[in-house]
Amino acid sequence: MKRLLPTLTLLCFATLLAPGCSDSSPGPDGDASRADGGVDGPRDDVLRPDGPQPDTQPDATPSGCGIQTFASGKQPQNEIHVAQNGSDQNGDGSATKPYASIGEAVKHATPGSAIRVHSGTYSGGVSISGLAGTAAAPIWIGGAPGETKPVLQGGGEALHLTKVRYLVVHDLEVSGSTANGINCDDGGDYADPEATRWIVFQGLDIHDIGGSGNQDCLKLSGLDDFWVLDSTFKRCGGGMSGSGIDHVGCHKGVIARNRFEQTSGNGVQAKGGSVDIDIKNNWFEDAGERSVNMGGSTGLTFFRPPLSQSADNAEAINIRVLANVFVGSTVPFAFVGCDSCLAAHNTIVSPTKWLLRILQETTTGGGYTFVPARKGLLYNNIFYFARADVATAINIGPDTDANSFGFEHNTWYAHDAPPQDSTPNFPVSTTGTTAGIDPEFVDVQSGNFKLKPSSKVIGYGSNRDIGLGPLSDMEGNCFDTTMPTAGAYAVAP
């Protein structure tokens, strides 16, 4: 199949947030050299049975089911300019006398400052620690409005952020780093949810990072209340390791409207005690061994918060994969030691080996109890696959609780086989399964996975309320709960 990537609406950073348009050895977060690599009991302040609260003041797109960040509607109070022809010694950060480096500009930033990095190529290896805006006056670091994205090139990591708050990083291109593209962490203060909090990454283009092992485009460790929006992640890591976005012990995040291509290990991974992360409205194409890894395997000393010896621990909790498109990859998503995780309204096309996996990689031991992968829920997904590629549709590993999973109103279609061959071997009874019926995409070859008006999938789905408020589809339209439909695209009633 010829795969063409439909153009996603990449919103100008200014529309929402401002005016104007390793190596293979374990690192500080316990990453190992494998792709699917954890785990702790939930924090009281991050684990809520109903997940994050619905948006109460959506941004400009789409009305009713949009995304709001702490920076939505806010404007910088001053600008600090960085340009290739600037000077860190003689500049003052003005438009006419810019600084030469982001590092120098950061020294002069205060709440409300916007560091405007003008077009050009700058050396990577920038390290920023302790930079903090406020809820009323964030700090912005990114490309100048109306200009081509500046490029951060090379270095072990192009940009390393430690213990930052109320910060927006936007409109940057990053390439050629040997370890990670951008790394943002809590400085090793694992038990403090305030260490690095309220961060937005938007409009980034991170590509060609590492290439020999577990190197990530965007590495996030110990973040709380964060967003990654409208960005592109390509060719990070190698040897079936490395991720587009790798989370270790992150909580209350939104990963939305991004594109992941040709990542080696994962498109997105959330492990090490990660809780309450919504992964929605993204396009994954050939995004590694597991396009989304809900859970994984992390060294015992690297969980955020630290593991409990008196309570159950889990690799990840309440990771939600919502209304994404998956094309190719070995498997679109895996539940790996993940507790109460969810995959809903996704469109899956042509995975090369499995449709989903239920696995356990971190087990009870060393004085710590870990729950098995359990209580996963899949509903309103469309699986379009070749039975010649997918011999085992649902791969279930040992030490899991697959019997606690739920399957509701999913569509399963093996386009190269008789209808009866479309039905997987489920671990439990299912509800509302559609199997062997063509969902009727508009044009598979060109990558248009909307449903034709004649599709039998339309109106045949679950209107389950998961407490997140209105859900948006791949084009920013709100799903109509009166006409529940499977897949990543809403259908007008």
Assign residue 228 the CATH number of its domain.
Answer: 2.160.20
H or E stretch at 104: helix 102-107
Instruction: Please check the confidence at residue 29 and state whether its pLDDT lies above 90.
Output: no
Summarize pLDDT for 216-270 with one digit per residue, the tens. 999 999 999 999 999 999 999 999 999 999 999 999 999 999 999 999 999 999 9
Residue 360 structural domain: 40-69+179-451
- Count of CB atoms within 10 A of residue 367's CB? 8
First to last CA, the chain: 31
Preceding omega of 62 cis (within 30 degrees of 0): yes
Identify whether 279 is part of a domain. yes
Contacts of 53 (CB under 8 A, 6+ apart): none
Identify whether 426 is part of a domain. yes
Identify whether 321 is part of a domain. yes
Q: What is the pLDDT of residue 225?
A: 99
Number of domains in the chain: 1
H or E stretch at 383: strand 382-385
Mean pLDDT of the chain: 89
Identify whether 3 is part of a domain. no
Interatomic CA distance for residues 191 and 279, integer angstroms? 25
Please report, rounded to a whole number, the percentage of residues in the chain having pLDDT higher than 90.
82
Q: What is the pLDDT of residue 412?
A: 98
DSSP 420: G
Summarize pLDDT for 308-320 with one digit per residue, the tens. 999 999 999 999 9
120: exposed, middle or buried (Cβ count in 10 Å: 0-12, 13-18, 19+): middle
Instruction: Please check the confidence at residue 79 and state whether its pLDDT lies above 80.
Output: yes
Identify whether 250 is part of a domain. yes
482: exposed, middle or buried (Cβ count in 10 Å: 0-12, 13-18, 19+): exposed
Identify whether 134 is part of a domain. no
Q: What is the pLDDT of residue 255?
A: 99
pTM of the entire predicted model:
0.89
More confident residue, 318 or 41: 318
Identify whether 375 is part of a domain. yes
**Average pLDDT in the 457-486 region?**
89
Summarize pLDDT for 137-160 with one digit per residue, the tens. 999 999 999 999 999 999 999 999
The two three-digit tokens of residue 37, written as one number: 């690599």
Instruction: Write the single-letter amino acid at 452.
Output: K
Interatomic CA distance for residues 14 and 143, integer angstroms? 11
Contacts of 225 (CB under 8 A, 6+ apart): 70, 197, 198, 199, 251, 252, 253
Instruction: Write the single-letter amino acid at 299.
Output: G
Q: What is the pLDDT of residue 51?
A: 32
Identify whether 389 is part of a domain. yes
Q: What is the largest CA-CA distance in the chain?
A: 74
